[in-house]
């Protein structure tokens, strides 16, 4: 009915006919097939369906925009054939993440070809078996200890410096590790991606969410940290318990995992770990070592001091990079003397260390991190004696292996393109904000939370959402006597939780692509946990209204 109302002229009528045909061919026919097969739709089908629904909304909702804090109506831009154009624009919009995924794939393929990660996983598992002999450790479970420690580490990364895109690189390491420990790919993704975004929602010092939101709200940066730390602890306890229960279920019965069939890829890949590894120390490893040490010496001279920013705290740490470089020179030399495999593992370990230093000390993002991992791949390839042609072929094979993940990220970018080109993002925000009128304080903070949650599904960028919503929400909270800090907390939770489920998140889609988890299966697995987190978020917002908290 809404389509007919907008079809005023011949061109509009033709567009509507086109739109209806696309709907019928793509979804009605597809639905008939799904009824026969009763299988979960392919990730591409799900994303295109969401793009179609968003395009349909551009025909129903009027256009609008915010001029400062005031909402004004503008001409709508209904989207029809533009859904295909949006796919191209989505690739352009997400080009950074797409390139990052392809470079990561190529670099890690070179590292994997050295069998260094296999050696590392086998060595790690052997150490775990020795630990299991301890009665105390045996009662807790070595696997449980590993999951808890890894999740807490990545949660802290998410809470302190907003780790998100970086989880893509770690997924390719932790998923094979989880499989080797008797779990599944979902457990591996939970250890890194879910943990980081639980921390992201806790946001103790996250500059990309709390920092920007508090600045836009006009309150002291990182104030109210005491209550946020309590929230972070509670949220992490819930998340870790949830993951541990699931992991134990999978370990007892591997076929209970929804990814049992898909994880054949990882299980087959891990079978080679049991094969005999020939330790050797070729001359190429020493050449690679020498060139790497020279490069680190150059950077040590170039960057003798590092200014680390954690939240509102700024620390000038002299000789940080020189000290790290010196420790690499010593440890890597010992590793080369043992085997090239351990040298490559050392390179991988120090790549992660430099990643953390680069993010905290130099504001690195996708471009710099991708360059770092590319260097890791080149150093590893040189160490194992690959020729230029062989190294290039391995890199191409690795990029090809993750091409599907990169394609999904580009397609998902089309969702946001349709909403923005249709001029209805601000309209959706305005319609939601009207729901707060006349509500009490608890109800209002709850509605704010719902609004931020819904907006995050279509606009997963925390900094962009803070800039869009806080100038509207903060003054409104003053009118009803609600603390602006409570408004920021509603933004924080609304921004964080749904990052783990929204298909518009290029990071989520990229991680799932690397782990080879279909989005439909991930959604089916995580939706109950999402409901639990959303309810927990609302309960944690109530004290911001009913209690006297420091900073509120």
Residues 463 and 537 in one domain: yes
Write down the pLDDT at residue 311: 64
* Integer Cα distance of 276 and 119 in angstroms: 10
Q: Is the domain of 128 the same as that of 248? A: yes
pLDDT confidence tier of residue 240, bands split at 50, 70 and 90: very high
Copy the structure tokens of residue 164.
Answer: 């998100």
What does the pLDDT average to over 440-449? 85
Note whether 124 and 196 are same-domain residues: yes
Listed residue (486, 495, 23) closest to 217, CA to CA = 486
pLDDT(527) > 60? yes
**Residue 378: what pLDDT?**
95
Q: 410: Cβ–Cβ under 8 A, 6 or more apart, which residues?
A: 87, 90, 91, 94, 98
**Domain closes at, from 419, 441, 472:** 419
Q: What is the mean pLDDT of the chain?
A: 84
Same domain membership, residue 442 and residue 404: no
Q: Residue 439: its pLDDT value, please?
A: 67
CA quadruple 370, 374, 375, 376: dihedral, nearest 10:
100
Residue bearing the bigger pLDDT, 17 or 42: 42
For β-strands 313-318 and 70-74, DSSP reports them as unpaired
**Choice among 27-41, 85-99, 327-341 with the minimum mean pLDDT:** 27-41
- Predicted local distance difference test score (pLDDT) of residue 14: 52
Best CA proximity match to 511, nearest among 252, 4, 165, 137: 165
N residues, the chain: 552
pLDDT at res. 297: 96
* Percentage of the chain lying above the pLDDT 90 cut: 37
360 contacts 161 by C-beta, under 8 angstroms: yes
Q: Which of 14-23, 47-56, 518-527 has the lowest mean pLDDT?
A: 14-23
Arithmetic mean of pLDDT, 173-202: 92
Q: CA 331, CA 342: separation in Å to the nearest integer?
A: 10
pLDDT of residue 141: 81
- How many CB atoms sit inside 10 A of residue 528's CB? 10
Residue 31 lies in a domain: no
**Three-class secondary structure of residue 166 per DSSP:** coil
Q: What are phi and psi of 338, to 5 degrees?
A: -85, -55
**Range from 219-233, 325-339, 420-434, 443-457 carrying the lowest mean pLDDT:** 420-434
Could you give the CA distance from residue 486 to residue 86 in angstroms, rounded to a whole number?
A: 37
153 in Cβ contact with 160 (< 8 Å): no
H or E segment and range at residue 64? strand 63-67
| 292 vs 552, higher pLDDT | 292
- Residue 411 belongs to some domain of the structure: yes
409 vs 318: which has the higher pLDDT: 318
Residue 47 lies in a domain: no
- What pLDDT sits at residue 34? 44
What average pLDDT score do residues 143-167 get? 87
Q: Do 177 and 264 fall within a single domain?
A: yes
* Widest CA span in the chain: 79
**Same-domain pairing of 128 and 264:** yes
Question: Is there a single domain that holds both residue 481 and residue 505?
Answer: yes
Q: Return the percentage of the chain with pLDDT > 70, whole number.
A: 88
Greater pLDDT, 414 or 190: 190
Rounded to 5 degrees, φ, ψ at 365 are -135, -155
pLDDT beyond 90 at 481: no
In this structure, the dihedral spanned by the alpha carbons of residues 316, 321, 326 and 331, taken in order and rounded to 10 degrees, is 110
pLDDT of residue 9: 46
Residue 6 pLDDT exceeds 50: no
Name the domain boundary from 419, 448, 469: 419
The predicted model gives 450-475 an average pLDDT of 78
DSSP letter, residue 305 = E
Provide the pLDDT for residue 35: 47
Query: Which of 202-211, 323-332, 364-373 shows the lowest mean pLDDT across its residues?
Result: 202-211
Residue 17 or residue 305, greater confidence = 305
d(C-alpha 44, C-alpha 47), whole Å: 5
Does the residue 257 lie in any domain? Answer: yes
Question: Is there a single domain that holds both residue 354 and residue 244?
Answer: no
CB neighbours (10 Å) of residue 456? 24
Residue 61: inside a domain: no
Q: Which domain holds residue 252?
A: 118-276+423-552
**Structural domains counted in the chain:** 2
In a domain, residue 54? The reply is: no
Looking at residue 437, its pLDDT comes to 65
pLDDT at position 254 is 93
Query: Cβ contacts of residue 351 below 8 Å, gap of 6+?
Result: 372, 373, 375, 376
7, pLDDT greater than 60: no
Q: What is the pLDDT of residues 306-326, one digit of tens each?
A: 998 876 678 889 999 999 999
Residues 325-334 as b or e (16 or more Cβ within 10 Å = b): beebeeebee
Quick one: tokens of 413?
A: 């970018």
Place 435 in a pLDDT band, splitting at 50, 70 and 90: low
The single-letter DSSP state of residue 384 is T
Q: Check residue 184 and give its pLDDT.
A: 95
Sorted by sequence, the CB contacts under 8 Å of residue 298 that are 6+ apart come out as none
pLDDT at residue 203 tops 90: no
Instruction: Label residue 1 by pLDDT band (50, 70, 90).
Output: very low
Burial class (CB in 10 A: 0-12, 13-18, 19+), 268: exposed
Question: Does the pLDDT of residue 242 top 50, yes or no?
Answer: yes
pTM beyond 0.75, yes or no: no
Domain boundary among 354, 387, 419: 419
The DSSP code sequence of 442-482 is HHHHHHHHHHHHHHHHH---HHHHHHHHHHHHHHHHHHTT-
Pair (394, 523) in one structural domain: no
Kindly state the average pLDDT of the residues 238-263. 95
> Is residue 436 predicted with pLDDT exceeding 70?
no
**436, 447 in Cβ contact below 8 A?**
yes
Name the more confident of 440 and 509.
509
How far apart (Å, rounded) are the C-alpha atoms in residues 504 and 457? 7
Tell me the range of 193-207, 306-320, 471-485 where mean pLDDT is highest. Answer: 193-207
Specify whether the CB–CB gap between 105 and 453 falls below 8 A: no
Closest CA to 380 of 371, 366, 391, 389: 391
Cβ–Cβ under 8 Å, residues 243 and 190: yes
**CA atoms of 300 and 305, how far apart (whole Å):** 9
Q: Give the tokens for residue 456.
A: 């995050």
Residue 308 and residue 398 share a domain: yes
Cα separation values, 384 from 30, 208, 340, 378, Å: 49, 40, 7, 10
Task: Tell whether 134 is covered by a domain.
Answer: yes
Tell whether the model's pLDDT for residue 379 goes beyond 60.
yes
The rounded distance, in Å, linking the Cα atoms of 83 and 86 is: 5
User: Residue 13: what pLDDT?
Assistant: 47
Question: Residue 275: is its pLDDT beyond 70?
Answer: no
Answer whether residue 15 is part of any domain: no
Q: Are 242 and 525 in contact (CB under 8 A)?
A: no
Q: Are residues 304 and 388 in the same domain?
A: yes
Same domain, 124 and 249: yes
CA distance 314 to 309: 5
pLDDT at 76 over 70: yes
């Amino acid at each position: 009915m809404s389509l007919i109302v907008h079809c005023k002229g011949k061109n509009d009528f033709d567009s509507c006919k086109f739109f209806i045909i696309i709907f019928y061919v793509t979804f009605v026919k597809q639905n008939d097939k799904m009824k026969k097969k009763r299988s979960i739709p392919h990730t591409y089908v799900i994303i295109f369906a969401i793009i179609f629904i968003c395009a349909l909304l551009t025909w129903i909702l009027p256009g609008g925009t915010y001029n400062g804090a005031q909402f004004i109506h503008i001409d709508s831009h209904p989207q029809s054939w533009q859904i295909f154009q949006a796919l191209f624009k989505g690739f352009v919009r997400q080009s950074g993440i797409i390139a990052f995924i392809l470079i990561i794939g190529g670099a890690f393929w070179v590292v994997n070809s050295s069998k260094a990660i296999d050696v590392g996983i086998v060595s790690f598992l052997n150490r775990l078996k020795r630990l299991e002999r301890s009665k105390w450790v045996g009662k807790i479970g070595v696997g449980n200890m590993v999951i808890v420690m890894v999740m807490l580490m990545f949660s802290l990364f998410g809470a302190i410096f907003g780790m998100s895109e970086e989880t893509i690189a770690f997924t390719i390491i932790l998923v094979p590790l989880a499989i080797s420990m008797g779990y599944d790919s979902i457990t591996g993704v939970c250890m890194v991606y879910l943990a980081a975004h639980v921390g992201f929602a806790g946001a103790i010092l996250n500059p990309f969410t709390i920092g920007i939101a508090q600045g836009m709200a006009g309150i002291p940066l990182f104030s109210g940290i005491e209550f946020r730390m309590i929230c972070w602890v509670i949220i992490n306890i819930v998340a870790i318990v949830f993951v541990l229960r699931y992991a134990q279920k999978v370990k007892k019965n591997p076929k209970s995992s929804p990814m049992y069939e898909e994880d054949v890829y990882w299980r087959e890949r891990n079978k080679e770990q049991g094969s005999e590894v020939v330790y050797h120390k070729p001359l190429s490893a020493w050449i690679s070592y020498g060139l790497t040490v020279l490069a680190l010496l150059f950077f040590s001279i170039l960057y003798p001091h590092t200014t680390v920013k954690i939240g509102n705290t700024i620390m000038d740490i002299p000789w940080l990079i020189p000290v790290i470089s010196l420790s690499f020179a010593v440890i890597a030399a010992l590793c080369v003397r043992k085997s090239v495999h351990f040298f490559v593992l050392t390179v991988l370990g120090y790549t992660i260390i430099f990643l953390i230093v680069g993010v905290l000390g130099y504001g690195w993002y996708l471009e710099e991190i991708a360059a770092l991992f590319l260097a890791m791949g080149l150093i590893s390839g040189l160490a194992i004696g690959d020729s230029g042609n062989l190294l290039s072929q391995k890199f191409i094979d690795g990029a090809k292996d993750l091409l599907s993940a990169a394609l999904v990220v580009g397609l998902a970018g089309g969702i946001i393109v349709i909403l923005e080109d249709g001029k209805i993002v601000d309209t959706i925000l305005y319609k939601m904000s009207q729901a707060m009128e006349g509500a009490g304080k608890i109800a209002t903070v709850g509605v704010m939370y719902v609004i931020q949650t819904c907006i995050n599904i279509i606009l997963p960028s925390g900094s962009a959402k803070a800039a869009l919503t806080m100038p509207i929400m903060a003054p409104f909270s003053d009118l009803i006597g609600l603390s602006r800090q409570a408004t920021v907390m509603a933004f924080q939770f609304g921004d964080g939780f749904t990052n783990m489920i929204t298909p518009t998140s290029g990071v989520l889609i990229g991680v799932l692509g690397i782990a080879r988890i279909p989005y439909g299966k991930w959604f089916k697995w995580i939706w109950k946990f999402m409901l639990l987190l959303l309810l927990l978020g609302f309960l944690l917002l109530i004290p911001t209204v009913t209690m006297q908290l420091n900073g509120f």
